Structure 1
Amino acid sequence: MSDSAKELTEKILKGERKYSAVIPTGGKGGGMYPLTAGMPKALLPLDKLPLIVHILKYLDNSIFDKVIILCNDWKPMIESYVDSFKKSFDFKFEIIYRYLDEKRQPGNMVSEFLSELINEGAEIISDPFLLHYSDVLINHRIDWEAIIEQYDFEKKQFEKKHKKISAMLLASKSFEYPVGLIKTKSLNKTIDKFEQKPKSLIFTEYYANCAISFISKFFIQNHIKWEKPGLDIFDEWFKNALERKECITAYEIKSWYHFQHLGTWLDAQREHYSHLDFF
């Protein structure tokens, strides 16, 4: 273990380094209909637990001390479900429910909240903080200390160049592509390789954005300064930040789910219930 890693571990154990997590639960989840006809995607069950409870379970109590759940009109249902499961799990972090009216900024609860957040005082949220969408789920043990250690290391490297880190995105080569992919030879476009709906991007130069990231307050402040209200955080904020040469890094994870359509949900159920005959 490096000296910086030991120092980080000691601070975490002493409670000197704690982080906040923001979990947006809006979105109508059209691709998951009819399962989402009467509930948000965040409450869809996986192995007897709602997706949001799976997320809360893998947020390490020694790392995180506050979770802010962003809600739209589903707030009473989400709050009721989470509070009922809190009794079964040892969640030591504070859970705050924040209602946001989607009519103000349709589909952009996150950017609206982050823009308002900076005006509410430094104590409400950590720097950096974790942004974790509620329709994604990491499918293996997460070493939060290792992620934070890499964030700290890269932050120091950028500071040596008189730059600030904006964010670290969790990314993966594991991604079930919805269509077949072809690779052609550069000169005559003859197909060199074909793969039908690959489950990995290993043969490409790209990673899949997992919609989970550590974001600095500098990133928020910069975008309040430069961006129009209501822009989508991934479609516009990160894209525009890269165009301005802001420092954004990536941390690779192995396996994850993105619940965009019923097929993903069914595959996840198969993995969790593989011992049952009807799957």
Structure 2
Amino acid sequence: MKAIIPAAGQGTRLYPQTHTKPKAMVRLAGKPILGHILDSIGETRIDEVVIVVGGPMKEQIIEYVNRAYGDRFEFEFVEQENAEGLGHSIYQTESVARGDELLIALGDMLFENGFDHFLSDHDELPATDGSIGVKRVDEPQHYGVVETRNGGEVTRLVEKPSDPPSEYAISGVYIIENSDALFDALDYLVENDVRGAGDEYQLTDALQRMIEQGRTLYPFEVEDWYDCGRPDTLLEANRVLLSRTETADPESIDSAVIIPPVDLGNDIEIEESVVGPYVSVDDGAKISKSIVDDSIVGQKAVLDGVNIEESIVGSNTEVHGEANHLNVGDNSSIHL
């Protein structure tokens, strides 16, 4: 079985953080989003991973995964030159993934119950061509939606419908047994220029075509997921992940108060400050005379005399003076 991670998205909802890094490389709880995804995949039987990359910053992803996970997985990198939807992204992997069993995991989604749990749920289903992670939501019109036959076999999928046929939203994880049928469906969409929501090639439409061609799909339940493509849910995921980790006893920090859970990187300096709870501080950051709560502080960032909460401070950024809520991109300098 192979995992496919589409990670070529521009990440406009995370501006300014994604002006200087791919969305999958935005850091929380001690490592990039992509690192947390690979950690979860590493708990499964999967040892081959295909990552879809694109844009001028794709080398950041390639360098990171080869350095941090090259001894755990065999990687293939496939380029998506034009961002034309999730279906189009998966379509790019046909030459390296057709014929394999696949786990498709979006590059900006983290899950409360991990991929090994999903694979176990899939294995308990009746014989099927694939399965889809779903969750009941309050506003299904904002998602891809699944309709089932009495809670069992999927009968219809539709992307962001104005009149949703059910409350079950597609949550961004898919397990495909019959990848030949999936790529046949994607081929049809692209070759016939069948575009869906957002004028893009949608994976949802390809799965719907599989059903129309007589293939069977089943749902499995996802408890909670975190769409790390937005600042508020990125901070929420940071809180959840930090709550599962043990805060290391910081060395050489004797003039600061550290309130767990926090993640402290290497070569950081914290003086006359209160840091935590739910704070991730990247390598080389300096914090002085500040109060930092429920925030993500980037690599080599400098915070001096600030009071921040629910904030994201980019790498190589300096913030001096009073503050409250911030979302500051990399390489910035702010005096308040």
- The 5 A counterparts of 1:101-140 are 101-102=81-82, 106-108=83-85, 110-111=87-88, 113-114=90-91, 117=94, 120=95, 127-140=100-113
Higher relative contact order (CA 8 A, sep 6+): 1
- The 5 A counterparts of 1:189-228 are 205-215=166-176, 216-224=178-186, 226-228=188-190
Matched position secondary structure for 1:56: helix
Partner of residue 37, structure 2: 55
Per the alignment, do residues 146 and 111 of structure 1 end up closer, same or farther by CA in structure 2, a change over 3 Å counting?
Answer: same
Post-superposition offset of 1:63? 1.1
1:32 to 4, 14, 30: 14
Structure 2 Cα separation of the partners of residues 67 and 51 of structure 1:
16
What do the CA deviations read for 1:181-236 (whole angstroms, capped 9, x no partner)? xxxxxxxxxxxxxxxxxxxxxxx952221111012223224315643346423353
CA contact (8 A) 1:136 1:258 kept: yes
Partner of residue 198, structure 2: none
Post-superposition offset of 1:24? 0.7
Per the alignment, do residues 150 and 219 of structure 1 end up closer, same or farther by CA in structure 2, a change over 3 Å counting?
Answer: farther
Matched position secondary structure for 1:131: strand
Per the alignment, do residues 63 and 225 of structure 1 end up closer, same or farther by CA in structure 2, a change over 3 Å counting?
Answer: same
Bigger-Rg structure (1/2) = 2
Partner of residue 94, structure 1: 74
Post-superposition offset of 1:115? 6.2
Structure 2 Cα separation of the partners of residues 116 and 53 of structure 1:
21
The answer for unaligned runs of 5 or more in structure 2 is 142-164, 196-200, 244-259, 261-275, 278-292, 295-336
Partner of residue 82, structure 1: 65
> Where is the helix percentage greater, Structure 1 or Structure 2?
1
1:247 to 200, 216, 223: 216
Post-superposition offset of 1:266? 1.7
Partner of residue 158, structure 1: none
Structure 2 Cα separation of the partners of residues 238 and 46 of structure 1:
32
The answer for unaligned runs of 5 or more in structure 1 is 1-18, 156-164, 180-203
Structure 1 Cα separation of the partners of residues 189 and 58 of structure 2:
28
What do the CA deviations read for 1:8-53 (whole angstroms, capped 9, x no partner)? xxxxxxxxxxx10111101111111111111111011120111111
TM-score (norm 1): 0.66
Structure 2 Cα separation of the partners of residues 271 and 84 of structure 1:
26
Asked if 1:149 is matched to 2:117, the reply is no
Post-superposition offset of 1:112? 5.5
RMSD: 3.0
Per the alignment, do residues 236 and 144 of structure 1 end up closer, same or farther by CA in structure 2, a change over 3 Å counting?
Answer: closer
2:51 to 66, 69, 82: 69
Post-superposition offset of 1:259? 2.2
Structure 1 Cα separation of the partners of residues 49 and 234 of structure 2:
25
What do the CA deviations read for 1:129-185 (whole angstroms, capped 9, x no partner)? 11111011112344254134135x332xxxxxxxxx2x2111123x58599xxxxxx
Partner of residue 7, structure 1: none
Matched position secondary structure for 1:213: strand
TM-score (norm 2): 0.56
User: What is the identity, as a one-letter code, of the residue corresponding to 1:169?
Assistant: I
Structure 2 Cα separation of the partners of residues 169 and 62 of structure 1:
17
